[in-house]
Chain A
Amino acid sequence: MIFTIAAKELRSLFISPLAWVILGFLQLIMAWMFLSRLDAFLGVQSQLMALPAPPGLTEVIVAPVFGATALLLLLAVPLLSMRLMAEERRNQTISLLLSAPVSMTEIVLGKFLGLLLFLLLLVGLLGLMGASLYAGGSLDLGLLLANLLGLALMAASFAAVGLFLSCLTQQPVVAAIGGFGVLLGLWLVNMSTADPDSPLHLLSLLKHFEAFNKGLVDTADLAYFLLLIAAFLALSIRRLDGDRLRG
């Protein structure tokens, strides 16, 4: 049932021009960044070689491109997730799902999965771009995989937050703006403190992503993302159940 809903969501995404525009635009920016970093790397390669422990191709190109892509996703995901529930509620199509033998959990997971698959496609394409470096030299596969995992978890967290915001309102635009606000807040929450031991660092998306970006896969960071995703999915389910009770 989850897959039926996910497939429908994926299809609706690909029918809408917005998804294509975002997909194309992100690919364009990522490719441009990628090539410009590559260009810069080739320019300074000879100087780098003189260093005792020269940074590798992957370190110079892949890590910054992935970092920038995470930021782009922060802008793009709320636009992709805004319609998920808000539009169903506004057009009252939600009653097709509610009167079918499908639980709230399945509805929410199906919607989440649909969007996630789309985002994974995006991340996957970026991964291919990174893997293409293999043709020209040595590739730090571990670093690339850590970045891919981090980006995928990041995208999934964005999707969960966006989905929840979409459950809160009937206006897709409000959901998009709200989602963007919440994500930016989570991204930058540790900016407000100068204290390096502040617990706010634990909340920050950026902080946890940075570890993956450097090639460190830490269970604490993994747990952070998984908890974040689970929490927002659970909130979405609760919210939809509340709708049925309140009317």
Chain B
Amino acid sequence: MADPALTISAQGLSRSFGARWAVRDVTLELKRGEVLGFLGPNGAGKTTTMQMLTGNLAPSAGSVSICGVDLLDAPKQAKARLGYLPEVPPLYKELTVTEYLRLAARLHRLPKVQVQAAVDLAMERCGLLPMAKRLIGSLSKGYQQRVGIAQAVVHQPDVVILDEPTVGLDPNQIREIRALIRELGRDHSVILSTHILPEVESVCDRVQIMNEGRMVYSDTIAALKEARDARGLVVGLRRPPAVGELAAIPGVAKVAPLSEHLFRLALQEAPDPTDALVERSVRLNWGLVQLSPAQTSLEDVFVQLTQREETAP
């Protein structure tokens, strides 16, 4: 919160439905000008997390602050800086596109004189100009999705949160929307959830993977791309030692923690550290649970993190 560049900061966010935890202790930070990709298998808790970030759902525990304003203490000020596209776009089918976007702009407290210009800009950005006078109910699914996106950006919010924004769009429009997201990402912050991995690699600066309500991976795309070229190992330890101890193993060049229990080791050319690592893990009781060649593509990382945890006891 001290950092003025921080647009979203969520600490220890948890949410239960009855006895089941949908989201467990999620911490998330986003800087201005960053695009964060949010991944996870179905039911991981992405939508629930986003609903809590936007004030649609009250968290069971934890706090959210938007541009330094606490969402629970001052919801109005915080929400004024947010734009949100839910999983199901919240469209009033009986209104025309223009009427609907005007309503969205007014609800976000845009002054009356700015509304028309803002609506025009949003329609242009989302390729909606030919549909301006049509009833939303008569639009195709893809166009309705665009109206949903336009609604989230019409008031030029600091933080844009998009839940699966490219679902149902044609390939041309997907490219345009990705370009729009990148453009938004330049001076706003964007969080988007998606199941399309190449989308994350092409538009996001950072990626976080959720599984069963927990954040299991967080890294920058740049680091991911770098790792693709380097030789490495991914090590999972139940009781991990200090990072320095891992780095001290002969043959290890660099240690990057992926999560509390998961580390990526970059390797040197000469001695293979595998034997030494296993031996130390047994001797010092680190609880080795995973040892595999470093995954290079996002897809590999995703599959590994989310499948392994599913079969774990």
Q: Which residue of A lies closest to B80 (CB)?
A: A101
A219 contacts partner chain B, Cβ-Cβ < 8 Å: no
Q: Tell whether, in the assembled complex, residue A244 and residue B57 are in contact, meaning their CB atoms are under 8 Å apart.
A: yes
Chain B nearest CB, measured from A98 CB (Å): 5
**B94 is an interface residue with CB less than 8 A from chain A:** yes
Do B94 and A12 touch across chains, with their CB atoms under 8 A apart? yes
Interface size class of A (residues with CB under 8 A): 20 to 34
Grouping DSSP codes into helix (H, G, I), strand (E, B) and loop, the B interface class, with mixed when no group exceeds half, is mixed
Also in contact, A99 and B84, with CB within 8 A (given A1-B109, A4-B107, A12-B92): yes
- Given A96-B104, A99-B56; A15-B86 close (CB under 8 Å): no
B7 at interface, CB cutoff 8 A: no
Say if the beta carbon of B76 comes within 8 Å of chain A.
Answer: yes
Contact B86 A101 (CB under 8 A): no
Q: A100-B79, A101-B77, A103-B76 are in contact. Are A93 and B107 (CB under 8 A)?
A: no
Q: Contact flags (1/0) for A1-40 with B, using CB distance below 8 Å?
A: 1001100100110011000000000000000000000000
CA distance A244 to B58 in the complex (A): 6
How many residue pairs link A and B with beta carbons under 8 A? The number is 73
Question: Known: A93-B90, A94-B90. Is A101-B109 also a contact (CB below 8 A)?
Answer: yes
State A92–B51 Cα separation when bound (angstroms). 12
Say yes or no: A98 contacts B55, CB within 8 Å: yes
- B86 A92 Cβ-Cβ under 8 A: yes
Extra contacts, 8 of them, besides A91-B93, A245-B58 (Cβ < 8 A), are A96-B90, A98-B54, A99-B54, A99-B55, A99-B82, A100-B104, A103-B76, A247-B57
B146 beta carbon closer than 8 Å to chain A: no
Tell whether, in the assembled complex, residue A92 and residue B90 are in contact, meaning their CB atoms are under 8 Å apart.
yes
The verdict on B88 contacting chain A, using a C-beta distance below 8 Å, is yes
Contact between B79 and A244 (Cβ–Cβ < 8 Å)? no
Write out the residue numbers on chain A whose beta carbons fall within 8 Å of the beta carbon of B54: 95, 98-99
B positions within 8 Å CB-CB of A: 15, 17, 51, 54-58, 75-80, 82-84, 86, 88, 90-95, 99, 103-104, 106-109, 151
Taking CB atoms, residues of chain B closer than 8 Å to A91 are: 88, 90, 93
15 contacts between A and B (CB under 8 A): A8-B92, A8-B95, A8-B103, A11-B95, A12-B92, A12-B94, A95-B56, A96-B104, A96-B151, A99-B55, A99-B56, A99-B86, A101-B77, A101-B79, A247-B57
**Which one of B17, B84, B90, B95 contacts A247 once the chains associate, using CB atoms below 8 Å?**
B17
Tell me if A102 is interfacial: C-beta within 8 Å of chain B.
yes
